[in-house]
Structures are given as C-alpha cells and as structure tokens.
C-alpha cells in the first residue's frame, strides 16, 4: 500500500495497474445506488478529481459512505484500474474508505453554480471551486515565473519598505500607519496632533511604490526588482482597482528606454509561456468556462512581437478611428481605458507599447525628451485589461531633476537622498512597474480584480 497524490495518478510516471494505493482528500461529489457508488475525490494536488468506484460488496461501510456529506475528508485505499475507453483515464476501485473529517451538511459549496459576488463572501472556501483553484494556482505559477526570469537575467530581488515616511511619487491617496490611540491623541501646543509621539516619531504611510528606493539599489547592484504589496486609499470601485495589490518594479542601471521595452516584452512573454507550459489543465478549464479566447490570446502574446508606437502616433490613430469615445481624443489627454483597449483590441489586436507621453501627465522622475514636450515613458497596453505596465527612462541629470521637483512643488528635503543618486555618479537607468493582479487577470481571463486576490481589500471591505 502506497500513499499517493491524485496528481501522481495523472502524471507521466503512471502508477502500475492494480497497484494498491491510499489517497487522502475531500469528497467533491458522491452518487450511489444500492450496489455501486462513485466519488469524485479532490486532494488539492491537482485541479483534477480521482474517480473512486466503490461497490457495496467490497466496501464494508458502504451504506455509511454513501451518505457522507460533500466536502468530508476521507482516506481511500484501493487499486488503480485504467479505463482507456472511458471519459476519465483511470479509476480507483475502493477496498476501504475511512472518514477522517465529516463535513456539516450546510456546506455552502454544494454542486451548483454560484455567482462570483457570492463566492467573494466566502473567500476562505472559494479556492475549493475549480475556477478559483485554477486562478490561484496560476497566480502562484505566474509569480514564480517572474522571479525565475528576472533571477536568470541578472536581477536581484529587493524588499523596499512598506511603511514609508515619504509619499514617493504622489501617485495617490495613502493609508496612514500609526500606533497613536485615536481616542487619546497627543496634541502639540497649537492643538494639532503631535506626530512626533507616533511610533516612528513622524507621520508614516503605506507605500504606493518602491521605485525610488529601488533606483538606489540599481545604482549598486545594476539590476534589481521589487515584488511586494502596494496600497492606494482611493475610493475607487472599478473592476481593475483594489486598495491593496502587488507590484513588480524592476530597475536597471545603464539601460535606456529601448532596453526597458525589450525587458518588458521578454518578461511578459516569459510569464505567459511559463503558465502555458505549467498550467495546461487549469487553462483548459478556464478556457472552457470563463473565457473562450484565453489560450488563443496567450499563445499570440507569447509568439507575436508586440506593437510599438509613440503617444503622438496613437492620438492620430484614435482621432482617425471611426468610433465615438466617451472622452474625446486630443493631444495631451491622459488616455482612458476605452482608448487603451481600442488601440490594442481593435487596431492592433495584441499588446501595444506606447512611448513618449506628454510630460504633464507623467511623473516627475521620467526623463525629459529633447522636444521639451514629452518624456521617455512607456506604457504597455493589453487586450481586455488596458494598461498592464508603466515604465520610463529615469531622469539622471541632477539639474533637470531639481527643476522638476521645484516645478511640482514637492518638498525638496524629502528628496535629498534621491538627488544623491545623481550627485555621486549619475547613470543612465530605466525601470517599470507591473500591476501583478492585472497580469493574473490577463493570464486567467478573470474580469474582476477581486477574483484574482485571495482576500481582496476594496473600500469598505477588509474581511478575513
């Protein structure tokens, strides 16, 4: 008798026919007649279930087993029988079934379809469904593919701080992190909150980006990347925004915007390719049940070169498009999702790089182009999602950077250390940020960011 996983049954190294095995898992479905019954058993090792065949004549407690509630934990000992002509390639003929943990009969995931909205209220149970099993398995594979590609290409993983004393790029509203007792706040003489009494002796917030801190390390370790949580305290209720999400932020010394674009495309292709190779069962399920164009789109992403054009060219293309956008198109417009998606879904039908955006709609640290109007920025737009990646060459010229900080009325003393990076050996360098959840949406076909995060945080929702 050998303990095996359901995954092993379907693996390349098949279990010998008639081998006696034991499986531990959860009952997904059970149906039985007087003499014979069938259990679909899932043990978490694969999205697939093992088909357990039990005969009343073989299984001592057959009558009891037939009544086990869905989701009960059982141990099945039996023999493997290959069934090349049946729907499933093999069955396990049970000799013994032990109840290890009976489920309550009010288990909320009985065999019927539930809405995604309902499943979000049972985020602790939804990974037991095929859809969410597939999503979270692919999320894990995609994360590993990011690490693997970057590590193999000379990048060093860097953990930039979550709690920060600065507001980085002014990218959005922040959460304050504090240990002050809100019902007994210490006050200064003029009646304001005395932040010097807080844990860090000043006001601190949750990071919106680790980029600036990562730049410092790129100028020492050459190539680095962050991969960690970031936060936005915006009262945003779209399908593409969460209050807490993970970002991947690579930074590279001695690389310009063209190099940046090469790395972005290679990384996205590497992740897509890894998922296509390692999640065939999960993708097949999602393609059948969630998005019928998913695999086709991923294969195209892996195989075809991405399009590339400037922001200015894109504005022309959008102006010439025979479509009424909700927001009219003009040079200088911060593109909306409708424009981004039109470009990559209708004009190019694949991922599209847009470069050289107007400086007014991009962050202070992006390198000024010689035209005086644009910056060396790049966004990657992808079908179904819109913006997936945003990057730029960084402004390495101290005088230009100082002017930008002054123009934006940013507190200069907070950026002393950032300016040091230009004072002590200024270096051409570039980087980008990927919203990891958007990448997971892209490789799973899921349409709502709440459905690719284990326990999503959005305004008014911090359950579990």
Contacting its own copies within 93-152 (CB under 8 A): 100-104, 107, 122-125, 127-128, 132-133, 136-137, 139-140, 143-144, 147-148, 151
Mode of pairing for the β-strands spanning 73-82 and 90-101: antiparallel
208/229 Cα distance (integer angstroms): 9
**Rounded least distance, CB 334 to its own copies, Å:** 24
Smallest CA-to-CA distance from 75 within 21, 116, 36, 129 is with 21
Residue 64 vs 360, nearer CB to its own copies? 64
* Pairwise CA distance, residues 142 & 406, whole Å: 40
- Rounded CA gap, 413 and 261, in Å? 32
The window from 90-98, 317-325, 344-352, 451-459 that contacts its own copies (CB under 8 A) reads: 451-459
| Residue nearer to its own copies on the CB measure, 201 or 293 | 201
Whether 456 contacts 120, CB under 8 Å: yes
**271 binds its own copies per the rule CB under 8 A:** no
In sequence order, the 6+-apart residues with CB closer than 8 A to the CB of 182 are: none
Min dist CB 167 to its own copies, Å, is 13
Q: Is 165 in the site for its own copies (CB under 8 A)?
A: yes
Q: Does 200 bind its own copies (CB under 8 A)?
A: yes
Q: Is 428 in the site for its own copies (CB under 8 A)?
A: yes
Q: How far is the CB of 325 from its own copies (least distance, A)?
A: 32
Interhelix angle 416-423/211-221, nearest 10 degrees:
30
Q: Are residues 254 and 222 in contact, defined by beta-carbon separation less than 8 angstroms?
A: yes
Q: Which stretch binds its own copies (CB under 8 A): 181-189, 265-273, 293-301, 322-330?
A: 181-189
> What is the closest distance, in whole angstroms, from the C-beta atom of residue 418 to its own copies in the complex?
8
Q: Considering beta carbons, is residue 233 or 307 the nearer one to its own copies?
A: 233
- CA dist 451 and 118 (Å) reads 11
Q: How far apart are CA 374 and CA 396, in angstroms?
A: 16
CB 101 within 8 Å of CB 73: yes
Distance, in Å, from the CA atom of 262 to the CA atom of 267, rounded to the nearest integer, reads: 9
How many residues of this chain bind its own copies (CB under 8 A)? 106
365 binds its own copies (CB under 8 A): no
The residue range among 194-202, 259-267, 324-332, 370-378 that interacts with its own copies, by the rule CB under 8 A, is 194-202
Q: Which residues between 230 and 259 bind its own copies (CB under 8 A)? A: 231, 233, 243-244, 246, 253-254
Name which of residues 385 to 414 contact its own copies (CB under 8 A): 396
Q: Residue 395 contacts by C-beta under 8 Å, 6 or more apart in sequence?
A: 364, 365, 366, 367, 368, 401, 404
Determine which residue in the list 201, 293, 319, 346 makes contact with its own copies, applying CB under 8 A. 201
Identify residues 299-328 at the interface with its own copies (CB under 8 A). none
Verify binding: residue 448, its own copies, rule CB under 8 A.
no
* The residue count for the chain: 464
Site track 55-94 with its own copies (rule: CB under 8 A), x = hit: ----------------xxx---------------------
Residue 442 has, within 13 A of its CA and on its CB side, a CA count of 30
Q: Identify which of residues 255 and 356 has a Cβ nearer to its own copies in the complex.
A: 255
Which distant-in-sequence residues (6+ apart) come within 8 Å of 457 by Cβ?
Answer: 242, 243, 244
Q: How far is the CB of 185 from its own copies (least distance, A)?
A: 6
Please report whether residue 216 would count as binding its own copies according to CB under 8 A: yes
Give whichever of 114 and 147 is closer to its own copies, judged by the CB atom: 147
């Amino acid at each position: 008798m050998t303990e095996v996983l359901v995954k092993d049954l379907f693996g390349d190294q098949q279990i010998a026919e008639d081998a006696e095995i034991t499986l531990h898992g959860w009952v997904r479905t059970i149906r039985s007649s007087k003499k014979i019954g069938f259990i679909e058993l899932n043990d978490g090792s694969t999205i697939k279930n093992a088909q357990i065949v039990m005969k009343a004549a073989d299984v001592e407690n057959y009558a009891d087993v037939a009544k086990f509630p869905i989701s009960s934990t059982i141990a099945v000992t039996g023999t493997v029988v290959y069934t090349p002509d049946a729907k499933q390639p093999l069955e396990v003929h049970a000799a013994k079934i032990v109840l290890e943990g009976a489920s309550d009969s009010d288990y909320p995931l009985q065999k019927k379809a539930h809405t995604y909205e309902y499943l979000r209220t049972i985020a602790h149970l939804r990974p037991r469904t095929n859809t969410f099993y597939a999503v979270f398995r692919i999320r894990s594979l995609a994360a590993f593919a990011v690490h693997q590609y970057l590590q193999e290409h000379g990048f060093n993983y860097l953990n930039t701080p979550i709690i920060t004393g600065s507001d980085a790029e002014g990218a959005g509203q922040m959460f304050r992190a504090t240990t002050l007792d809100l019902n007994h706040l210490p006050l200064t003489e003029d009646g304001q909150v005395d932040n010097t009494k807080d844990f860090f002796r000043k006001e601190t917030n949750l990071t919106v980006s680790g980029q600036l801190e990562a730049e410092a390390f790129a100028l020492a370790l050459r190539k680095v990347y962050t991969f960690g949580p970031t936060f936005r305290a915006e009262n945003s209720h779209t399908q593409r925004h969460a209050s807490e999400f993970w970002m991947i932020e690579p930074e590279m010394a001695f690389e310009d915007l063209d190099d940046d674009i090469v790395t972005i495309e290679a990384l996205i292709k590497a992740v897509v390719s890894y998922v296509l190779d390692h999640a065939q069962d999960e993708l097949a399920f999602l393609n059948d049940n969630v998005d019928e164009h998913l695999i086709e789109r991923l294969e195209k992403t892996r195989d075809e070169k991405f399009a590339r054009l400037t922001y200015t060219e894109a504005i022309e293309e959008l102006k010439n498009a025979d479509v009424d956008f909700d927001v009219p198109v003009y040079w200088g417009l911060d593109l909306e999702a409708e424009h981004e998606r039109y470009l990559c879904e209708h004009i190019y039908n694949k991922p599209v790089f847009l470069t050289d955006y107007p400086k007014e709609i991009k962050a202070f640290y992006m390198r000024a182009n010689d035209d005086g109007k644009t910056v060396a920025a790049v966004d990657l737009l992808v079908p179904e999602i819109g913006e997936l990646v945003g990057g730029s060459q960084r402004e390495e010229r101290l005088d230009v950077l100082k002017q930008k900080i002054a123009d934006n009325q940013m507190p200069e003393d907070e950026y002393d250390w950032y300016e040091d990076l230009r004072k002590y050996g200024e270096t051409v360098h570039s980087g980008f940020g990927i919203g990891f959840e958007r990448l997971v949406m892209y490789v799973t076909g899921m349409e709502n960011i709440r459905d690719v995060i284990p326990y999503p945080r959005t305004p008014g929702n911090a359950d579990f």
